[in-house]
Structure 1
Amino acid sequence: MNDQRLDEILDRANAAAPGPWESDGAEIYGTFAGVLSIDLWVGETLNIDDQEQANANASFIAAARTDVPELVAEVAALRARIAELEAVRDTQNRILSDAAKQLGLACERITELETERHTTNEALSDAAEQMHRDRDRIAELETAQGDFAAEVLETTATRIERRARRLGGEWIRADQVATVLRGIATARDFSDPALPQQLDRRAM
């Protein structure tokens, strides 16, 4: 039943004699101050063959004068309430839809962050391994540098001793020259800390 149908029903009710109505047997009357008035006669449902049915028809018609407007008003109220609930439903659906979208975006961001975390962890692991390799290489180079410096000093001291002897400097010994060179190297801080010990061992 659409709104037009309800309006037609209500229009017919409003066009009828003012209510409420009361029935007296098969007779239908209006009321005044809530009391049936025979001066406000509305109609009758006389049926000589079936007086009981006639009385029931009159009772129904009399009650319909107030029942119909009340029913139309109730339908209108229920429809208004349905409209309100539908509006609430639509609002909630939009909220849920937005929440679902936000949840989806949050899940995507979590996935991105997890991927970034794995990538970062791999990069850190690679960097740590490279750092260990670099440290090992630096240690190797430092050891090689110390050995090379010791060898250079020893060779230099030996050459100085030989040259000094050829020039008549018998008092000059390689171990003494090495001691002097160690002092110079230490002062200039370009040799390995273990160099003096290495030179001492080689001079023996």
Structure 2
Amino acid sequence: MTAQPERPDLDTIQARTDAATDGPWYADHVNDVVYDFDGRFVAQTVLMNGPNPDAIFTAHARTDVPELIAYARHLETRVAELEQDLAGEQARLADRALEARELRAECSRAATLLSRDPDGARVLLDRLATGAPVPARDGR
């Protein structure tokens, strides 16, 4: 089982993102330089022959990081909503379990009454059919 990663400090990441040069950024694969949308220098990476993966990563980070932060915040909100829904469902199930215990007790009272007086079964069935309460064990 893999360990759950620690939650990153989204506020700190957001602050660094907000402080950085506005994006989007673009990679110049000739000079391995990253520029902002106005053509201003942002960063330089190691010179390579052809497209530089580091320059591509750096350029895309300016738009990827804010999107990832927004998505992480959305997921945190959704998890909180689901946890709240789960708590409500657990309370509803607890209520249903109580109802089931009460019905079981009512069935037990009916069985006791039937075992004491088999001829009283007709009276009991009539009460159940009309929704009248089943008498308690002491006959009330």
**Alpha-carbon displacement from aligned partner over 1:45-72 (angstroms, at most 9, x marks no partner):** 133xxx1488221110110001011011
| 1:113 Cα deviation from its structure 2 partner | 2.3
Aligned AA (1:27) = V
Partner Cα distance (1:22, 1:64) in 2: 10
**Cα distance in 2 for residues equivalent to 1:96 and 1:121:** 36
Match of 2:67 among 62, 65, 70: 70
From 5, 12, 31, the counterpart of 1:8: 12
* Alignment check: 8 A CA contact 1:30 1:41 kept: yes
Instruction: Quote the RMSD (CA, aligned, Å).
Output: 2.3
Counterpart amino acid of 1:11?
Answer: A
If the length of structure 2 is used for normalisation, what is the TM-score?
A: 0.71
Higher helix share: 1
Instruction: Tell me how far 1:99 sits from its aligned partner.
Output: 0.1
Q: Does the aligned pair in 2 maintain the 1:21–1:30 contact within 8 Å?
A: yes
SS of the aligned residue for 1:18 comes to coil
| Distance in 2 separating the partners of 1:52 and 1:73 | 35
Structure 1 counterpart of 2:131 = none
1:28 is the counterpart of 2:34: yes
Q: How far is the alpha carbon of 1:119 from its aligned partner? A: 2.6
Change (3 A) 1:15 1:53: farther
Tell me, yes or no, if structure 1 residue 55 matches structure 2 residue 52.
Answer: yes
CA deviation string 1:63-110 (max 9, x = no partner):
000101101111111111111112111111111111011101110111
Q: Point out which structure has higher relative CO (alpha carbons under 8 A, 6+ apart).
A: 2
**Greater radius of gyration (CA):** 1
Query: Tell me, which stretches of 5 or more residues in structure 1 are unaligned?
Result: 32-36, 124-204
TM-score, with length taken from structure 1: 0.50
The match for 1:161 is: none
Structure 2 gap ranges (5+): 1-5, 121-140
Q: What is the aligned residue count? A: 114
- Deviation for aligned residue 1:121: 3.9
2:68, 2:97 → 1: CA distance? 42
Report Cα offsets for 1:162-187 as digits up to 9, x if no partner. xxxxxxxxxxxxxxxxxxxxxxxxxx
Distance in 1 of aligned mates of 2:36 and 2:82: 40
Aligned amino acid, residue 103 of structure 2: A
User: 3-state SS of the aligned residue for 2:71?
Assistant: helix
